[in-house]
Chain A
Amino acid sequence: MSHIIVHIVLILGLPPLLLGVIGKTKALFAGRVGPPLFQAYYDLAKLFRKGSVFSTTTTWVFRAGPIVGLVTALLAGMLVPLGNHSAPVSFSGDLILFAYLFALGRFFTASAALDTGSAFEGMGAAREVTFSCLAEPALFFGFLVLAKLSGSLSLTGMLDGPFPKGWGVAGASLVLVAASLFIVLLVENSRIPFDDPNTHLELTMIHEVMVLDHSGPSLGMILYGASVKLFVMGALLMRIVAPFESGNAWVDWGLFVAGMLALAMVIGVVESVMARFRLVFVPTFLVAACLLSAFGIVLLLR
């Protein structure tokens, strides 16, 4: 029971810290001091205290977008195992629910963007759904590899206890899947080199331009939901890359948190050393990610 509470607390509390770590890493690389580690928390607190401006063209869809986006990400967080601890909710087939929850969130955030009638937001929504189309098969090829290795169809079962054995049996497949999932993680969470939330030009953005018109608590929900999504997908990847276990349940929690912070630093490093790809090349990289994980399952099944 206590582990379920820790799980929920981590899912609710830790995600914004990842944004802080990424920001700090990037600042270090640029030789700046950078915003404090807890900046994302301050931003959220501020946003939830602000009033909102709603465009006169919008309908209920615009208000539903952030809500659905946040709720789906949180529910997906209930399905994913954190480190060596199994998820609070786990059943055969939950990996499909996991993927489709994010799709539901995407449907509503993209619709909310179209609800404003703005060309910029339409553009962002179009890019978001397009890139997700290509990321989804990559994710499922990865799931196939994990499920085949473990013989289980639940996220917890796929990534559970005996998992480190997988590295001995099919190391090449797992490397491919991890690489592919890392690309998917970067794309789905709009990180450099696929998307840059901090450019000054809205024309080149993906996710940020989609949520231009949201303000106040709605915007807070979007920021928070995005960080939860990053956290959840990151937890999935971390479990594959670093399936460590210490034997002590509480040390495992510590290991997991350390792993997530390390992942955030890796993302920060990637963002610091790479330039953004041209938008037209993003589909090519996503197809390559699909091929990587598809190749992983081919290697496993041959």
Chain B
Amino acid sequence: MSEWLIFLGIGCHAVSGVPGLFRRRDSDAGQKFAVVLGLIGSALGIVGAVGSLWQPPVANSVIKIDAISVIFLLPIFLIPALGGVYGLTYWKQAEHIHNGQKLRLFYGLVTAALAGVTIAANSILFLVAWEIMALSAFFLITTEDEDRMVSEAGWLYLVTTHTATLCLFALFALLRNVTGSFTLVALPDGLGAGLATAIFLLAVIGFGLKAGLMPLHVWLPGAHAMAPSHVSALMSGVLIKIGIYGLVRICSLLPHPPLWWGGLLLVAGTISGVLGVVFAIGQHDLKRLLAYHSVENIGIITMGLGLAMVGRSLHRADCVALGLAGALLHVWNHGLFKSVLFFSAGAVIHATHTCEIDRLGGLAKAMPRTALCFAIGAVAICGLPPLNGFVSELLIYLGLFRSIGIGHETGWAGSAFAPPALALIGALAVACFVKVFGGVFLGVARSEHARHVREADANMTGPMLVLVGCCLLIGLAPLLVAPLFEQGVYAWSPDLATGAVSLVMLAPLRWVSVAGLALIVLIVVAGVLLGLRLRHCGTASSGTWDCGYAAPTARMQYTSSSFAQMLVGCFVWVLRPRVHAPGEQPLFSRATQFRSHVPDIVLDGALRPSFRFGAKITSSFRFLQAGNIHAYLFYIVVFLILLLLWR
């Protein structure tokens, strides 16, 4: 029964953009219709997904809906629907008459395809849904394809996503070879180690490209920065998680993983996490910065998955449960707070028409609701209590500590590097989000645009507030969602008997609620006391003191670039920032400028040079391209003769 609700929800999303195609380009009716259809579809889908938990899991040769599917389905239905509402103001059809219809068509399609991937039990269906998702996402990224930067980002995405698909073709061909059918079932125990490793590595590369795991992340920053903000929220919050979904699924099918698989995922996750946040600190563009944080959070999720794999190799149910539940909960959490952040970044861009952090500032006065949402999202993404990011990171931390053999005989010393690395990631994230929050919302406006802004309307702040509410709910009452994630753990690890793990026993979820509530109550009490005290003693207002300097201007503020400068200096060996400094100046110097930016180490440091080199090598064969049709035919004949001779 409930699966039909899910199908109906998927259908609603898939067709939501179609009616708008038949409306006039300058009318908003099609957009409103699409949003309503999307909301209905999401409501149906969420009801269906939650309802499916209370009935035996649907599993046939085409469709399989278990707890893992449900965990991924819920954000897939929630976030795009809210993004649609947000788009009512952000990407108003009347203001974007050339691309509004296209955007909505593919927005609905990508949502439907994402949901399709998570319920597919058949590799053909999986790949079809996957390709629809990948291609729709390409058209979403290139919404404004008249801009050269946008189309470049789009092409880069297209190339990488097809490389990923290529890996998946090989992966599913191997699976078909082993199991003898296209249905995705657990692989037999007697699987050869080489074959199993090949399947695992193909999954890591193919799905890692989609998820944006560090050396494979090249498409991600550009695509997230160039797409409209609600599309960025969808991509960062939901779309890249589908890569994680695939990896989780394939890992659950493989029997008896050796220890180094988990170790590999742990190392890859750590690299992705640390470097993701380090590169984020170096960025000047608000959306690019948030995009690099997606790389970081994918890293954290991968660490959790790696921990679960290590747990399976060590036969430690507690590590499996904490790692997988932490990873899956972080999938939710990242979807929630990253969407808040992209939505509020979009509100800022909508109001100021710039996403350069160093040209913003002081927006908290004019946009108090957006600022509050951004602040809460920032605290959540740093993994700080009392919000949801803390809960998932706590689970992963506990699992990592336990996997070393604390309070247990069996353990693996190799994962000892991971908890401090996670702490480093958290501390760097705090630094980065203080930089962004301070640079964009606090202080004084640094440009004319930022000085005259208005608060975003209810269409934009409403979705943010809903998501912030979800963040608070998970952060303060993790017990509510814990049973679902326990189900996910059982669905993932078939050798665990039901009832073998209990998140409540393993993690102090009650204490998290208590501590979060105590924190909030104490802050409110202290705030009230301070307020009373101030009323009694009196307050005055004046300019910022600034060590006695009488006339500070906005340009004297610490910019976000200078805020990050020390950290960029600490990580200069990986960031390799390009600095364009003025040369030597005469005694009375002329107007001059200083610029710096941090290029992507993989894309600009490795891929572009190697492709350029390849182009240089192959360009020596240009002479073959004579432009003469007879010559081409002659080549074909020569080639044919060669082939005939070879056999």
The answer to whether A117 touches B379, judged by C-beta atoms less than 8 angstroms apart, is no
The answer to whether B533 touches A55, judged by C-beta atoms less than 8 angstroms apart, is no
Which has the most chain B C-beta neighbours within 10 Å: A93, A147, A152, A290?
A: A93
Contacts A52-B539, A122-B563 given; indicate if A94 touches B557 (C-beta within 8 A). no
A218, B529: Cα distance in complex, Å: 11
A217, B439: Cα distance in complex, Å: 27
In order of increasing CB-CB distance, the 10 nearest A-B pairs are A122-B558, A114-B438, A117-B443, A137-B420, A129-B431, A136-B427, A301-B413, A140-B420, A55-B544, A51-B538
A250, B436: Cα distance in complex, Å: 49
Chain A minimum-CB-distance residue to B539: A52
The answer to whether A130 touches B416, judged by C-beta atoms less than 8 angstroms apart, is no
CB-CB contacts below 8 Å: B556-590 with A: 556-558, 562-567, 570
Chain B minimum-CB-distance residue to A115: B442
Chain A neighbourhood of B518, CB < 8 A: 75
The answer to whether A122 touches B438, judged by C-beta atoms less than 8 angstroms apart, is yes
Chain B neighbourhood of A93, CB < 8 A: 394, 397-398, 507-508, 511
A216, B564: Cα distance in complex, Å: 31
**Is A237's beta carbon under 8 Å from chain B?**
no
Chain B minimum-CB-distance residue to A55: B544
The answer to whether B563 touches A126, judged by C-beta atoms less than 8 angstroms apart, is yes
CB-CB contacts below 8 Å: B510-548 with A: 511-512, 515, 518-519, 522-523, 526-527, 530, 533-534, 537-547
Chain B neighbourhood of A66, CB < 8 A: 530
Chain B minimum-CB-distance residue to A120: B547
Q: Which of B527, B533, B547, B570 contacts A283 (CB 8 A)?
A: B570
Chain A neighbourhood of B428, CB < 8 A: 133
Contacts A103-B384, A118-B557 given; indicate if A130 touches B570 (C-beta within 8 A). yes
Q: Which of B419, B544, B558, B562 contacts A57 (CB 8 A)?
A: B544
Of B43-51, B240-248, B300-308, B399-407, the one contacting chain A is B399-407
**Is A153's beta carbon under 8 Å from chain B?**
yes
The answer to whether B430 touches A103, judged by C-beta atoms less than 8 angstroms apart, is yes
The answer to whether A133 touches B526, judged by C-beta atoms less than 8 angstroms apart, is no
Chain B neighbourhood of A96, CB < 8 A: 393-394, 397-398
Chain B neighbourhood of A217, CB < 8 A: 530, 533-534, 537
The answer to whether B423 touches A57, judged by C-beta atoms less than 8 angstroms apart, is no
A106, B629: Cα distance in complex, Å: 70
The answer to whether B427 touches A132, judged by C-beta atoms less than 8 angstroms apart, is yes
A111, B436: Cα distance in complex, Å: 10
The answer to whether B544 touches A117, judged by C-beta atoms less than 8 angstroms apart, is yes
- Besides A56-B544, A121-B558, 9 more A-B contacts (Cβ < 8 Å) are A64-B527, A115-B438, A119-B556, A120-B546, A130-B570, A133-B424, A152-B407, A153-B407, A298-B416
Contacts A75-B519, A297-B416 given; indicate if A216 touches B537 (C-beta within 8 A). yes
**Is B638's beta carbon under 8 Å from chain A?**
no
A60, B537: Cα distance in complex, Å: 19
Chain B 431-454 interface mask (CB, 8 Å, partner A; 1/0): 101100111001110000000000
The answer to whether A129 touches B424, judged by C-beta atoms less than 8 angstroms apart, is no
The answer to whether B404 touches A148, judged by C-beta atoms less than 8 angstroms apart, is yes
Chain A neighbourhood of B542, CB < 8 A: 53-56
Chain A 115-158 interface mask (CB, 8 Å, partner B; 1/0): 11111111101110110111111111101100110011100000
**Is B375's beta carbon under 8 Å from chain A?**
yes
The answer to whether B544 touches A153, judged by C-beta atoms less than 8 angstroms apart, is no
The answer to whether B552 touches A118, judged by C-beta atoms less than 8 angstroms apart, is yes
Contacts A61-B442, A126-B558 given; indicate if A136 touches B404 (C-beta within 8 A). no
**Is B390's beta carbon under 8 Å from chain A?**
yes
Chain B neighbourhood of A148, CB < 8 A: 404-406
Expressed in whole angstroms, the minimum distance between the Cβ of A98 and any Cβ of chain B is: 10
Expressed in whole angstroms, the minimum distance between the Cβ of B524 and any Cβ of chain A is: 9
The answer to whether B544 touches A52, judged by C-beta atoms less than 8 angstroms apart, is no
**Is A68's beta carbon under 8 Å from chain B?**
yes
The answer to whether A71 touches B545, judged by C-beta atoms less than 8 angstroms apart, is no
A132, B427: Cα distance in complex, Å: 7
Binding site for B on A (CB under 8 A): 48-61, 63-64, 66-68, 70-72, 74-75, 89, 91-94, 96-97, 99-101, 103-104, 106-107, 110-111, 113-123, 125-127, 129-130, 132-141, 143-144, 147-148, 151-153, 202, 212-213, 216-218, 221, 283, 290, 294, 297-298, 301-302
Chain B neighbourhood of A57, CB < 8 A: 362, 443-444, 543-544
Q: Which of B375, B419, B540 contacts A52 (CB 8 A)?
A: B540
Jot down 8 A-B pairs with beta carbons below 8 A, ordered by A: A92-B508, A104-B379, A115-B364, A120-B546, A126-B566, A130-B566, A130-B570, A151-B407
Chain B 136-168 interface mask (CB, 8 Å, partner A; 1/0): 000000000000000000000000000000000
The answer to whether B543 touches A55, judged by C-beta atoms less than 8 angstroms apart, is yes
Contacts A55-B545, A74-B522, A129-B430 given; indicate if A111 touches B401 (C-beta within 8 A). no
**Is B426's beta carbon under 8 Å from chain A?**
yes
A137, B570: Cα distance in complex, Å: 15
Expressed in whole angstroms, the minimum distance between the Cβ of A188 and any Cβ of chain B is: 11
Chain A neighbourhood of B193, CB < 8 A: none
Chain A neighbourhood of B444, CB < 8 A: 57, 117
Chain A neighbourhood of B364, CB < 8 A: 59-61, 115
Chain B 305-325 interface mask (CB, 8 Å, partner A; 1/0): 000000000000000000000
Chain B minimum-CB-distance residue to A126: B563
Which has the most chain A C-beta neighbours within 10 Å: B365, B405, B527, B544?
A: B544
The answer to whether B406 touches A151, judged by C-beta atoms less than 8 angstroms apart, is yes
Expressed in whole angstroms, the minimum distance between the Cβ of B625 and any Cβ of chain A is: 54
The answer to whether B426 touches A118, judged by C-beta atoms less than 8 angstroms apart, is no
Chain B neighbourhood of A51, CB < 8 A: 534, 537-540
Q: Which of A107, A123, A132, A298 contacts B558 (CB 8 A)?
A: A123
The answer to whether A71 touches B406, judged by C-beta atoms less than 8 angstroms apart, is no
The answer to whether A91 touches B404, judged by C-beta atoms less than 8 angstroms apart, is no
A107, B422: Cα distance in complex, Å: 17
Chain B minimum-CB-distance residue to A112: B442
